[in-house]
Amino acid sequence: MIPPRPEPLAQPRLGLLWFARVAHSWLDALTVKSYHMLLGQFRLPGMRVFVVNDPAWVERMLIAEPHNYPKHRLMHEALEPLLGSSPFTTNGPLWQRQRRMLDQAFGHARLGRVFGLMQQACNDMQARLQAGTLDVDGAMTHVTADIVHRTIFSLPLLAQEADTLFGAFTRYQQLAQRAVFLKLLRLPPLWLNRSKQRQAAIIRGFLAARVRERFASRSTDDEAQGADILAGLRSAVDPQDGSRLSETEVLDQICMLFLAGHETSASALSWCLYLLAESSGLQQTLRDEVAATTQGEPLQAGDVRKLVQLHALFREVLRLYPPVGYFPREAVADQVIRGSQVRRGDALLVFPWLLHRHRRFWVEPDAFEPGRFDSQGSADPPKGTYLPFGMGARACIGAGFAMQEAALILSTLLQHHCLRPAPGPAPRVVGRLTVRSADGIRVQLEALHAGAAHD
């Protein structure tokens, strides 16, 4: 099965029409050669850009020498209105301090401690679902936002709140994508920055009210007894100077965790549901695995690691549709990469999207084949070719969280429903801040009953 993918260009194209297409989706810029090359190069007004597909150089940039390849300044400009000063936008000592504090917060709110909160959100999702056509993007955004909201604040997220936040972030993604490409062309962003600020204010205002309420109602001593991530952030102490995070700093970290935590998971899970709807046999295999693991009881935290086939599905979906399709970095010194002279300030792009589908590293790279990740699958791909959560010091702090979340959501769905393809065209893949479908994803949802899984 070859699931939806953008058709690569035969040759690179330039001109205003091409840039307009790329401003809509960066996937539209990729060529056939992009999936074969180890190093690519193109020029923009005032900027040279290198696409690094060499796994050895990917490891060097992300693991061995991340300080020599900080996040590109354009990433800060794209995300700062929304995420403030947080690990998605910072570099150097400031990033190191924030990561130390986040590590403490995640240690405080361990996966086992928040499992029950995740399960409650999945039970509420199940109560919302009805037979018929399912808006997959909306449903997965709601449940993942509810999960991360509960694990941060110990409070559920209401449907109207989820819809408001989803709409604001969808608009923010579109505006940010266009603003970045105008910046690359050295054109003024016109009204885009103001519009971006308005959407960011909707999201940050909602989260700021939650944070402000906690600061007003609980002391840091009270928070030390709490089990959620906000309690962990307020309790965290920098081991180097003994400082704590201010309310503004806490808000920035919460914005980053909330947006990154729910949007990336919602993206991956939406593609999971689409592919499951197209694969009734795989649905039943996974349903049988969940039943054998749980023996009719609710899924427990210790059961998650036993769902080998379900994890294989999720890993394959993360390969085909990595939520964050590229990582922008900046060279801090002149150097030579694979024979090409790279100057200080040049942009270096690491593309999980390309590495995960690279013709040199994968067999049938565009095919949907979860078996490549199960215990019977082929040998692991070369290091540096599979990085849905990044690699090295900047690897996603919530990778374990996302895997546990996916297991709970998918097992809940499979225990109660069958998924069927919905009429209409296949989803159209677009690359913005995350990899999504341009017009959403829809599937037919049927209540599971005797024999339904084998119809």
Which of 120-129, 185-194, 299-308 is the most confident on average? 120-129
Give the confidence band of 32 by pLDDT, cuts at 50, 70, 90: very high
Interacting residues of 190 by C-beta distance below 8 A, sequence separation 6+: 182
Mean pLDDT of the chain: 89
Give mean pLDDT, residues 153-171.
90
Interacting residues of 91 by C-beta distance below 8 A, sequence separation 6+: 70, 71
Give the confidence band of 454 by pLDDT, cuts at 50, 70, 90: very low
Express each pLDDT in 361-393 by its tens digit.
999 999 999 999 887 655 577 789 999 999 998
- For residues 173 and 45, give the distance between their C-alpha atoms in angstroms, rounded to a whole number: 23
Dihedral class, residue 46 (left if φ above 0, else alpha if ψ from -120 to 50, else beta): left
Question: With 50 as the cut, is the pLDDT of residue 353 above it?
Answer: yes
Count helices and strands (H / E) in the chain.
Answer: 15, 11
**How much is the pLDDT for 25?**
86
Give the confidence band of 182 by pLDDT, cuts at 50, 70, 90: confident
**How much is the pLDDT for 125?**
96
Interacting residues of 158 by C-beta distance below 8 A, sequence separation 6+: none
Question: With 60 as the cut, is the pLDDT of residue 453 above it?
Answer: no
- For residues 243 and 240, give the distance between their C-alpha atoms in angstroms, rounded to a whole number: 8
Dihedrals phi, psi of 451, to nearest 5 degrees: 85, -10
Question: With 70 as the cut, is the pLDDT of residue 18 above it?
Answer: no
Please give the C-alpha separations between residue 107 and each of 83, 100, 216, 304, in angstroms, as whole numbers.
Answer: 22, 11, 24, 19
Amino acid present at 231? A
Helix, strand, or coil (residue 176): helix
By DSSP bridging, strand 347-350 and strand 47-52 are: parallel
Give the confidence band of 450 by pLDDT, cuts at 50, 70, 90: very low
Give mean pLDDT, residues 186-213.
89
**CA-atom Rg of the chain in angstroms:** 22
The tokens 């205002």 sit on which residue? 205
Beta strands per DSSP E along 383-434: 417-421, 429-431
**Tokens of residue 355, six digits:** 């590495």
**How much is the pLDDT for 445?**
96
Give mean pLDDT, residues 286-303.
91
Q: Kindly report the pTM of this predicted structure.
A: 0.91
Give mean pLDDT, residues 33-47.
89
Give mean pLDDT, residues 253-272.
92
- For residues 179 and 190, give the distance between their C-alpha atoms in angstroms, rounded to a whole number: 9
**How much is the pLDDT for 228?**
87
- For residues 210 and 108, give the distance between their C-alpha atoms in angstroms, rounded to a whole number: 19
Instruction: Report the range of poorest mean pLDDT among 34-48, 141-155, 280-294, 373-387.
Output: 373-387
**How much is the pLDDT for 176?**
83
**How much is the pLDDT for 17?**
62
- For residues 203 and 165, give the distance between their C-alpha atoms in angstroms, rounded to a whole number: 6
Q: What does the DSSP 8-state code read for residue 316?
A: H
Dihedrals phi, psi of 230, to nearest 5 degrees: -60, -40
Give mean pLDDT, residues 293-318.
92
Q: Are 430 and 21 in contact (CB under 8 A)?
A: no
- For residues 71 and 450, give the distance between their C-alpha atoms in angstroms, rounded to a whole number: 53
Complete domains list, the chain, with CATH: 16-454 (1.10.630.10)
Query: Using CB atoms within 10 A of its CB, is residue 194 exposed (0-12), middle (13-18) or buried (19+)?
Result: exposed
Helix ranges, 242-374 (H) = 247-277, 280-294, 308-320, 352-356
- For residues 143 and 159, give the distance between their C-alpha atoms in angstroms, rounded to a whole number: 9
Please give the C-alpha separations between residue 367 and each of 40, 68, 144, in angstroms, as whole numbers.
Answer: 24, 36, 27
- For residues 378 and 361, give the distance between their C-alpha atoms in angstroms, rounded to a whole number: 12
Query: Using CB atoms within 10 A of its CB, is residue 171 exposed (0-12), middle (13-18) or buried (19+)?
Result: middle
Which of 3-12, 189-198, 217-226, 404-413 is the most confident on average? 404-413
User: What does the longest C-alpha to C-alpha distance in the chain come to?
Assistant: 66
- For residues 45 and 361, give the distance between their C-alpha atoms in angstroms, rounded to a whole number: 33
Dihedral class, residue 54 (left if φ above 0, else alpha if ψ from -120 to 50, else beta): beta
Interacting residues of 376 by C-beta distance below 8 A, sequence separation 6+: none
**Torsion angle of C-alpha atoms 440, 317, 26, 74, degrees rounded to 10:** 110
